[in-house]
Structure 1
Amino acid sequence: MSKALKERKDVEEALTWDLSAIYATEEEFQSDIKKMKELALKIEKTYKGELNTADKINECLDEFRKLYEYIVLIGSYVELLVSVDYTNNENQDKYSKAMNMVSDIESRLSFVESEIIEVKDEVLEEAIRNSKENTNFLKEKKRAKKHALHPEVERVLAALSGTLEGPYQVYEQAKHADMDFNTFIVGGKEYPLGYALFENEYEYENDTEVRRAAFKVFSYKLRQYQNTTATAYQLQVQKEKTLADLRGFDSVIDSLLFSQKVDRDLYNRQIDLIMEKLAPHMRKYAKLLKKIHNLDEMTFADLKIAVDPEYDPRITIEESKKYIEGALSIFGDDYLDMVKKAYDERWVDFAQNKGKSTGGFCASPYGSHSFILLSWTDRMAEVLTLAHELGHAGHFKLCNENQNIFDTDVSTYFVEAPSTMNELIMANYLLSTSDDKRFRRWVLSSMITNTYYHNFVTHLLEAAYQREVYKIIDEGGSVQAATLNSIKKEVLEKFWGDDVKIIDGAELTWMRQPHYYMGLYSYTYSAGLTIGTEVSKRILKEGQPAIDDWIEVLKAGGTKTPVELAKMAGVDITTDKPLLDTIEYIGSIIDEIVKLTEEIEG
């Protein structure tokens, strides 16, 4: 069972990422900060009050792109430093200083967007015609015209950008630096507990008594912070409401969807259809787990247990290479070369240590390679997670190589498609490596418990909860811990019905995700996976032509809308069909797992 987590300083270097790929020395870091500040001053001095012709606008934006590259590298570097150890005060200080500088620069240069937005349409159209590099940026400014505020207001908001991120910073500090989990005892044995230990190990623990005890103690600690966390969240949604009102949006939801370039129909469809159509399939899966494990009742704390508790393949980081490389090689030599470099050049932080951010993510700063955060547990399921994050890395490698920095801002509606599709590519590859029924059932159940449960259930239920919160905020209300607990519990009960008991602590699940501080992000996982599922099925059926289309989609970056990107890949997301087909596909996987279970146990 789990051991107490190490301090970051005690972690083996080979398990950590190498941030020297961004800045090898402190001198390099400080040099870029100096260049960033000098370029910002130059732009302000040269162009403020002068952006009234197409030529001046494009000249300014050519310099602004260079500045943006410095901002992205510097910001990414300090964020990555902090993410692996929130208890490191030196890195926290470095982060705060850097982000304060960026906020100051963004405030002083807010005139760039304000002046561009204020010029006559014919000047803006001329600027668009005259510069391919700046075309999409300028088109976005034109689209944003009706929601722009007075230049001085925009300047103040930019100056406050760091402060406006305060709710998220409070949440992260409470979660990673302040929550000190107690050990717990089962059967006379003492078990350590931490955020990462619970989410990476205890939720999957086969021993029911240990698993439920861990959930109880974990929930007890969360409850101690529910009011602080709720206050941070209330500040976040109230901030979003205020900004939505100031910019003339009808609701917070419309405001947050604006940057995603999708409408409310696509947003509501994901939530409503999955809540209605997927729930019966997932309840069927929950009943199967209850039967296999001979549980007295199926509770919320039992939902992530394995179909085959005695068959949990273990794999080392080194051993994972052959599976990752074998599966992802279908995307070509350049993609495979990236995968190999991710291992060899330490793009991935595999370590488990105190203060480290939970879950996983991939950061892909323009001008460098990607950096992936994981907490490797030696479970075979980690291979699917790594494939997921490498999907982000592959996407932004191709995007960053083929687009300028203005055109790498991919809509969050689409951004999870390349990553979740990689999980399916990996699962299908694993299925091809063995005819053993037990292994096949394990792979299929991993697709359900990892890929689909995580993205179509966990994140989707977050989205359903989040929509209810915004309804309250749009009506002028506020949310406290009791309200948030009630909303979350109702959403869980609606989805799971009588087949899963929503025990005490389940209602606190809203406290566990940072996505609520990132706009309407949670629902996009299922949106991306819908696209990913349909494209992966097309790849299985058509082979290279489908792969070639997908590579072109990845290269396109932010130059296309989600609808256009999906269409390039052969998927029409303006209709219900892709989502309904995906739900049916999930149901077919569950049906096969049930059948295989009967054959294996029969």
Structure 2
Amino acid sequence: MNPKFKWKLESIFPSDEAWEDEYKKVQELIAQIQTYQGRLNESPQILAECMKTYEQLGLAMERVYVYARMRRDEDNTNTKYQAMTDRAASLSIRVSSALSFLVPEILSMPDERLDSYIADEQLKPYRFYLNEIKRQKEHVLSAQEERIIAQAGELAQAPQTIFGMINNADMTFPAIKDEDGEEVQLTHGRYIQFMESPDRRVRQEAFKAMYDTYGKQKNTIAATLNASVKKDVFYARIRKYPSALAASLDNDNIPVEVYTNLIQAVRDNLPAMHRYVSLRKKLLGVEELHMYDLYVPMVKEVKMQISYDQALELVQKGLAPLGEDYASVLKEAFTSGWIDVYENEGKTSGAYSWGAYGTHPFVLMNYQNNVNNLFTLAHEMGHALHSYYSDKNQRYLDAQYKIFVAEVASTLNESLLMDYMLKNTDDPRQKMYLLNHYLEQFRGTVYRQTMFAEFEKLIHEKVEAGEALTPETLCSLYYDLNIDYYGPDMVVDEDIKMEWARIPHFYNEFYVYQYATGFSAATALSQQILNEGAPAVERYLTFLSSGGSDYPIELLRKAGVDMASPQPVVEALQVFARLLDEMEELAKEIESTK
């Protein structure tokens, strides 16, 4: 592989030996932080010293874990980096256990003393962190109980780990015949390729083979998901929350209404989704639209080949409205070893942005020359530059932005790139193809993720009510939601009732709704940037630079959107409806020229 297409992890550690040195440093810092146990109420100075050590420990541990894991991601068959990753994961559990005294001991102080500590100048850098601890006081247990919970961390990961092994290691899919009649093994990676195939037989065979395979494991996977949900409910109850949903959202100080408002706003706008399904049926020219017809492009004749170099240029042009500073950082990212570009033997699939505080972020890609990968590049660079600006402007403890805002920067980049592409495309078929892509983003990110979010809410409520999550219960709930969301023009195939079994996000409770809220916020902010220019850009760059220094709802409010209201979701779905109007008009124009 040409080195210019590889990331340069040497900017974290110049060598594996340097990683070993940092590993030892973490062990030393574990011993050091424990010397503060039982002493935090002695003086603000002692607490400030402890907090400084806590920062050093967190930062060193982050660097150790990130480097080992990203080295493994380069080649998952490399046993050296498998072992380093395992060692880092075990060390991380030791760190959590060693730190378990910190929060309970801070909260054991009388309120007056804690308030005086927070006001002390020595603790000014940690003020937001300490106030955040105080906010969650009623949900923190004693030091001994917190230590037990920390040590049980590996057990709590069991459902997710077991599902991962079933899903990624043990489950094998049958071969199907591709477009040329050749037998090809179905895999997770090839499934979406098959779903995008213009050959309907291929789509149907892949769809049936995928869900038949999951159907054979339905009892095991239902038991695994049931255990995961029970784990969520257990933690919520032990920490005195009214529900698992409230417990999950409280980490980011998000009102439960944000979650329920999202579901209600999307349900109120299902007629637009049903219109989209109807247009898809018409453009595909099928008598019946099936679930396996959802991913094939509606505009068959257009093939847009976009090389990696072209993608870099298009992303830079598309993101030009974000100003010169953003453009210069983007250029640095493209030329300075931030990105691991192409697929390689043993390399982790998919795409992500990640890194450790104190170095620039990194982006893993498996670039293919198509529109999807162009937008994936823009998406991951959104994450990367969010991290870059946060790290540059915030201390370690305040730099890490919350998951609730994590998808805003990535999706905003996609919105701006799409706006540029649509404005610079004269070919009506290419424009149709791009509109198809954008509408699919809405369908997949707002409608589909909200359907997932509603499913999560329902299954947690059932467990909280003492009901069991049998395979039949899960299949029935999921099937009914598909009928509601896709509407009368969709034949909701029986096979789709097993789709819940292949969604790994369900093992990370109440996570997926943030894709929909993030997409909605990003859509609103991108409209402001395009319409207002400099003032909106300045607000947005301030948002990127704020990291986790305030609550997510407040950060977005300052940027220009109020996610405590359903309005941004409603506005995003109005954009969806307008794009749908445009596509319907283009379809009529193209039809009339035939």
Query: TM class by shorter-chain length?
Result: over 0.9
Provide the rounded CA distance (Å) in 2 between the counterparts of 1:80 and 1:477: 41
What's the CA shift for 1:114? Answer: 1.6
1:368 pairs with one of 326, 334, 359: 359
2:169 matched to which residue of 1?
Answer: 177
* TM-fit CA distance, 1:232: 2.6
Q: Point out the more displaced range, 366-375 or 30-39.
A: 366-375
1:310 aligns with 2:301: yes
Q: 2:513 aligned with 1:523, yes or no? A: yes
> CA contact under 8 A between 2:255 and 2:564: conserved in structure 1?
no
The residue number in structure 1 matching 2:258 is: 266
Structure 1 residue 425 displacement after superposition: 0.6
Q: Does 1:112 align with 2:105?
A: no
Aligned to 1:586: 576
Q: Which amino acid aligns with 1:472?
A: K
**Equivalent residue, structure 1, for 2:388:** 397
Distance 1:348 1:215, change over 3 A: farther
- Once the two structures are overlaid, the 10-residue window that deviates more, 386-395 or 232-241, is 232-241
By how many angstroms is 1:310 displaced?
1.1
| Correspondence 1:20-169 to 2 at 5 A | 20-45=10-35, 47-52=36-41, 53-83=43-73, 89-130=79-120, 131-169=123-161
Amino acid of the structure 1 residue aligned with 2:281: K
Alpha-carbon RMSD across the aligned residues, in angstroms, is 2.1
Compute the displacement of 1:478 (Å): 3.0
Distance 2:152 2:68 in 1: 19
Question: Secondary structure in 1 aligned to 2:183?
Answer: strand
CA separation in 2, counterparts of 1:106 and 1:512? 30
Task: Give matches, 1:167-566, under 5 Å.
Answer: 167-185=159-177, 188-199=181-192, 201-277=193-269, 279-352=270-343, 359-449=350-440, 451-566=441-556
Structure 1 residues without counterparts, runs of 5 or longer? 1-10
Secondary structure in structure 2 of the residue aligned to 1:72: helix
Rounded to whole Å, the distance in 2 between the matches of 1:518 and 1:530 is 21
Give 1:29's aligned amino acid. Answer: W
2:488 match: secondary structure: helix
Cα shift readout 1:95-122 (whole Å, capped 9, x = no counterpart):
2221111211221221112211111222
Report the CA distance between 1:525 and its aligned residue: 0.9
Q: Look up the SS of the partner of 2:125 in the other structure.
A: coil
Inter-partner Cα distance in structure 2 for 1:506 and 1:534: 32
Q: How has the CA–CA distance of structure 1 residues 418 and 71 changed in structure 2, closer, same or farther, with 3 Å as cutoff?
A: same
Counterpart-to-counterpart distance in 2, 1:223 and 1:453:
26
The verdict on how the C-alpha distance between 1:260 and 1:356 changes in structure 2, with shifts beyond 3 A counting, is farther
Q: Is the 8 A contact 2:33 2:98 kept in 1?
A: no
Deviation at 1:180, TM superposition (A): 2.9
Q: What secondary structure sits across from 2:53 in the alignment?
A: helix
Q: Which moved more, 1:584-593 or 1:127-136?
A: 127-136
CA deviation after TM superposition for structure 1 residue 355, in Å: 6.5
- Could you say if the C-alpha distance between residues 95 and 477 of structure 1 is closer, same or farther in structure 2, counting changes exceeding 3 Å? farther
The 8 Å contact of residues 312 and 380 in structure 1, kept in 2 or not, is answered as no
Q: How many residues are aligned here?
A: 588
Shift of residue 358 of structure 1? 5.1
Structure-2 change in CA distance of 1:74 and 1:230 (3 Å) = farther
Check conservation: 2:261, 2:565, Cα contact below 8 A.
Answer: no
SS of the counterpart of 2:571?
helix
The answer (yes or no) to whether the contact 2:517–2:563 under 8 Å persists in 1 is: no
Q: Are the aligned partners of 1:414 and 1:528 in contact in 2 as well (CA < 8 Å)?
A: yes
| Consecutive unaligned residues in structure 2, runs of 5 or more | none
Q: Distance in 2 between matches of 1:364 and 1:593?
A: 39
The farther-off stretch of 404-413 and 235-244 is 404-413
Is residue 538–residue 546 contact of structure 1 (8 Å, CA) maintained in 2? yes
Residues 202-237 of structure 1 show CA distances to partners (whole Å, capped at 9, x for unaligned) of 221111111221222222333333333333322221
Give the residue type in structure 1 aligned to 2:355.
S
Letter in 2 for 1:361: Y
Amino acid at match of 2:155: T
Over 3 Å counting, the alpha-carbon distance change for 1:84 and 1:283 in structure 2 is: farther
Post-superposition shift, 1:488? 1.4
C-alpha separation between the residues in 2 aligned to 1:366 and 1:586?
Answer: 37
Is the Cα–Cα contact under 8 Å of residues 87 and 177 in structure 1 kept in the other structure? no
1:1-16 correspondence runs (5 A): 16=6
Give the Cα separation in 1 of the matches to 2:181 and 2:312: 40
Letter in 1 for 2:190: L
Alpha-carbon distance between aligned partners in 1 of 2:525 and 2:421, rounded to the nearest angstrom? 18
Conserved 8 A contact 2:281-2:489: no
Q: In structure 2, do the counterparts of structure 1 residues 318 and 134 end up closer, same or farther at CA, with 3 Å as the change threshold?
A: same
The DSSP-based 3-state class of the residue aligned with 1:557 is coil
The one-letter amino acid of 2:322's match is F
SS at structure 2 position matched to 1:558: coil
Question: Structure 1 length as normaliser, TM-score?
Answer: 0.93
After the TM superposition, which of the residue ranges 238-247 and 101-110 deviates more from structure 2?
Answer: 101-110
Amino acid at match of 1:263: P
- Taking only the aligned residue pairs, the percentage that are identical comes to 27
2:172 is paired with a residue whose SS is coil
Q: After alignment, is 515-524 or 339-348 more displaced?
A: 339-348
| Residues in 1 aligned to 2:510 and 2:200: alpha-carbon distance in whole angstroms | 35
Three-state SS of the structure 1 residue aligned to 2:289 is coil
Which whole-Å CA distance do the structure 2 matches of 1:70 and 1:575 have between them?
39
Given the two structures, how large is their TM-score scaled by the length of structure 2?
0.94
Query: 1:84: how far off?
Result: 5.6
Q: Compute the displacement of 1:509 (Å).
A: 2.0
Determine if contact 1:230/1:480 at 8 Å carries over to the other structure: yes
Q: Output the CA distance in 1 between the equivalents of 2:352 and 2:476.
A: 29
Report the residue type matching 1:48 in the other structure.
Answer: Q
User: In 2, Cα distance between the equivalents of 1:88 and 1:225?
Assistant: 30
Mapped partners of 2:419, 2:126: distance in 1: 41
CA–CA distance in structure 2, aligned partners of residues 543 and 81 of structure 1: 41
> SS in structure 1 opposite 2:436?
helix
How many Å apart are 1:529 and its aligned residue? 1.3
Contact 2:338–2:363 (Cα < 8 Å) also in 1 = yes
* 8 Å contact kept, 1:391–1:419: yes
